[in-house]
Amino acid sequence: MTAQGTAIAVTIAGSDSGGGAGIQADLKTFSALGVYGASVITALTAQNTKGVTGIHDVPPEFVAAQIDAVFSDLKVGAVKIGMLSRAETIEAVANGLDRHKQTNIVLDPVMVATSGDRLINPDAVGALRKFLIPRALVITPNLPEAAALLGCAPARNESEMREQAERLLANGARAVLIKGGHAKDADAVDLLVERGRTTRLAAPRFETRNTHGTGCTLSSAIAARVANGLALENAVRAAKDYITVAIGAADRLSIGTGHGPVHHFHRWW
């Protein structure tokens, strides 16, 4: 609970029919962290643990209608943004956030699924940079996503991670959490880079193939903690702790034959 009542977070993202990522992962994360979750669905995917077999985009005007319905009624504490595959949808989301004066925005620039399937049109990357990165409280790219946003090769070490995050700050981001999960080090190291300050967050790396929805879950955990009133650095630290345990517990689940999900409800079952 916040001082104003029930903490509410909204996810603006695509649906994962397999339940491990996207809207489904976000709502599970909100619930696990004691936050009421609402949603704006931007796309439907035909998807399971083995990959994405189809994407059906929601028309931008209906994305806008969902935004207006949710934000006109609910007192929203934070917004998580995930899969936005088209430039027109990105612009509709940006305009909707402005209409409803939302500033606690966690932007996860989802581009490729865990399976390797591409989830964004190439022309939408520029729209993401122009319309949403400057509006976000924090953006949470992994190494390939940061490279795609900057048009360069993925970072190979922490020094290059920091340099790329600083370039994203120069492009208008307010803060960047650049995630090192794709690196090969013993620890999974993320860097929270703000103007004039870098916070290093390290956690053990688990040997598991059940990592589907990791990025969605981390970004929605940050949004949940912000909705509960935490400052950004504390929200990121708490979210990192949550996703680390969720990955560590993933092998307690047996879901599908590909990349299974992390265990959102590891505290309960």
Q: Check if the beta carbon of residue 233 is closer than 8 Å to that of residue 192.
A: yes
Q: Is 14 a catalytic residue?
A: no
Task: Give the Cα separation of 80 and 220 in Å (integer).
Answer: 6
**Can you say whether the dihedral through the CA atoms of 152, 154, 156, 160 is positive or negative?**
positive
Q: Are 246 and 268 in contact (CB under 8 A)?
A: no
Residue 102 in tokens: 């939302």
Asked about 28 being catalytic, the answer comes back as no
Catalytic residue among 179, 217, 240, 244: 179
Task: Determine whether 103 is an active site residue.
Answer: no
- Please pick, among 49, 89, 214, 244, the residue that the annotation labels catalytic: 214
| Catalytic residue chosen out of the listed positions 49, 89, 140, 211 | 211
Nearest in space to 9 (alpha carbons), one of 214, 228, 177: 228
Q: Count the helix, strand and coil residues of the chain and give each as a percent rounded to the nearest 5.
A: 40, 25, 35
Active-site hit among 22, 77, 216, 244:
216
Active site (annotated) includes residue 22 = no
Catalytic residue among 18, 19, 77, 215: 215
The token duo for 228 is 């509960």
248 tagged catalytic: no
Q: Is residue 215 among the annotated active site residues?
A: yes
Catalytic residue among 213, 240, 244, 260: 213
Task: Supply the residues annotated as catalytic.
Answer: 179, 211, 213-216
